A and B are shown apart, each in its own frame.
Chain A
Amino acid sequence: MTEAQTEPRQIYEPIVDTPTSYVREGPDIHPPLDSPGYKSTQLRHPKQPLVYLPQGLTEVTGPALGPAVILGELDHDLTRQHDGEPIGERISISGRVFDTEGKPLRNTLVEIWQANACGRYRHRWDRWPAPLDPNFSGAGRCLTDDEGRYRFVTIKPGPYPWGNHYNAWRPAHVHFSLLGRAFAQRLVTQMYFPGDPLFPYDPIFNSVRDEAARERMVSRFSMHGSQPDWALAYEWDIYLRGPGATPFESAL
């Protein structure tokens, strides 16, 4: 990512610039639902071919969910949701949400959840012997600003074991959920940290077959963005699919 690419770009004008369809992403962008290396996919992927859906208003519109789920000013700061501070490496995670034409998506909901510094989730299904942190819940949310920017303050999550295969460990990651501005743009993904030694062994990370595409899930460390005497910074831009070429697809 160069400096030029982080300059403010065109902002959508409401209504006028609302796409009438979204680009078809093709089979290689996202990981296949049938990914044998990730065992749980076995009984959870459709075997019948997907049916082409002509996009209509339902697909190009989307909810304004912020007011319903953002509870307060500190929702973006996972280190300040309890009386005390969580244990771990304090970091910021920030970036911008764009469509694939490079237009920032403003006022769109970004939700995250993650394990604590030891790699343990505050979830009753997570039972591996690593301590819970009474000062860390592990969930946050925010809306992007007018330039598509989001920012979270949190602690760096730890890697953790899982039952997929012998000695299986997930690389450290933060889960991201994005609403975009249209049903067609909805995305749930995971953000990874640069240089993780577990990358070659993780079937979820490697379910994305193209190396360049995998790199798009890896944040970059930013010395420039780090705050002296306070927190290191990771930056990660997210691209949701953009307008389609055929304006009146549903008429086809």
Chain B
Amino acid sequence: MIWPSTPSQTVGPYFAIGLPWPAGPHAVADGTAGAITISGTVYDGAGSPIPDFLLETWQADPEGRFADMWGYGGPSELDGFRGFSRCGFEDGDGSFEIVTVKPGRVTLHGGAIAAPHIDVSLFARGMLHRVVTRWYFADEEEANATDPALARVPPERRDTLLAKPVDGGYEIDLRLQGEGETVFFDL
């Protein structure tokens, strides 16, 4: 028997009383070698920064292994690696910053190899369900060229998924709607 899924509802305006926690934006332990920041701003369809959103990320370590709860895919051996980050803002300027390490390439079932990427969920008031996107890295041109998921994205929109190198890490914005709308995935 198959049971139907419980439907999604909006995270609403008041999630900040429950979900964010101080270390949430850190996907790696303090002092992890090679740690980087990934920062950006989230915009709505009017081009205005969104003051209230919850952003979560999930990724492999530099070896392509996960801090998965069951050790699936071979557990990460990077000390203190959580691979998950959560930023939540109740009244921000639209910007976020997470601290992590650049993920490695992940071998997929069937032998294909994914380019380094981070899975991203975005929740907010006015969104009845999360939207899912991925961050790739603009300086991984060779790996990106053969990534099975990027291959499905219309070439003229791929740029919205590419984090650009900046001092100390990378930068990428999310645009929910309109000009330069971020590619969101059907997962």
Among listed A32-40, A82-90, A193-201, A220-228, interface-contacting one? A32-40
A38 vs B11: C-alpha distance when bound (angstroms): 13
Do B3 and A100 touch across chains, with their CB atoms under 8 A apart? yes
Question: What is the CA–CA distance of A57 and B178 in the complex, to the nearest angstrom?
Answer: 31
Tell me, yes or no, whether A74 is within 8 Å of chain B by CB.
no
**Structural contact, B111 and A251, CB atoms closer than 8 A:** yes
Encode contact with A along B1-34: 1 for CB under 8 Å, 0 otherwise: 1111111111111111111010100000000000
In angstroms, Cα B3 to Cα A177, docked, is 19
Given A51-B152, A239-B4, verify A31-B128 contact (CB < 8 Å). Answer: yes
Question: How would you classify the secondary structure of chain B's contact residues: helix, strand, loop or mixed?
Answer: loop
- In the complex, whether A161 has a CB less than 8 A from a CB of chain B is no
Interface string of B93-135 (1 = CB under 8 A from A): 0000000000000111111101001010101111111111010
* Residues of chain A contacted by B129 (CB below 8 angstroms): 30-31, 33
Q: Are B117 and A58 in contact (CB under 8 A)?
A: yes
Cβ–Cβ < 8 Å partners of B73 in chain A: 57, 61
A251 to chain B, nearest CB (A): 2
Asked if A175 contacts B184 (CB within 8 A), the reply is no
Does residue B58 face the partner (Cβ distance < 8 Å to A)? Answer: yes
Shortest Cβ distance from A205 into B: residue:
B9
Chain B contacts with A in 24-57, Cβ cutoff 8 A: 44-46, 48, 50, 52, 56
Contact at A53–B181, with CB atoms within 8 Å? no
- The answer to whether B5 and A241 touch across the interface, beta carbons within 8 angstroms, is yes
What range describes how many residues of B lie at the interface? 35 or more
CB pair B152–A52 under 8 Å, yes or no, is yes
- The residues of B that contact A92 with a CB separation of less than 8 Å are none
Point out the residue from B56, B127, B154 that lies within 8 Å of A41, measured CB to CB. B127
Interface of A (DSSP majority class): loop
In-complex Cβ contact of B128 among A32, A48, A52 (8 A): A32
Interface residue B159 (Cβ < 8 Å from any Cβ of A): no
Query: How far is the CB of A108 from the nearest CB of chain B, in Å?
Result: 8
Choose one: B23, B59, B70, B126; the contact of A181 (CB below 8 Å): B70
Q: Is B163 an interface residue (CB 8 A)?
A: no
Nearest opposing residue in chain B for A188, CB measure: B11
C-alpha spacing A216/B178, complex, angstroms: 34
How distant is B84 from chain A, measured CB to nearest CB, in Å?
A: 4
A43–B94 CA distance with the chains assembled, in angstroms: 14
Q: Is A79 positioned at the interface, with any CB of B under 8 Å from its CB?
A: no
Interface residue A168 (Cβ < 8 Å from any Cβ of B): no
A45 at interface, CB cutoff 8 A: yes
Docked-complex contact B19 and A111, CB < 8 angstroms: yes
Residues of B contacting A204 in the complex (Cβ-Cβ under 8 angstroms): 9-10, 128
Contact of B176 among A38, A44, A189 (CB under 8 A): A44
5 tightest Cβ-Cβ pairs between the two chains A and B: A251-B110, A40-B126, A113-B18, A43-B45, A139-B18
B residues neighboring A (CB under 8 Å): 1-19, 21, 23, 44-46, 48, 50, 52, 56, 58-60, 66-73, 82-84, 90-91, 106-112, 114, 117, 119, 121, 123-132, 134, 148-149, 152-154, 157, 176-178, 181-187
10 contacts between A and B (CB under 8 A): A15-B72, A30-B128, A43-B45, A44-B44, A45-B127, A57-B73, A69-B21, A125-B91, A177-B18, A207-B9
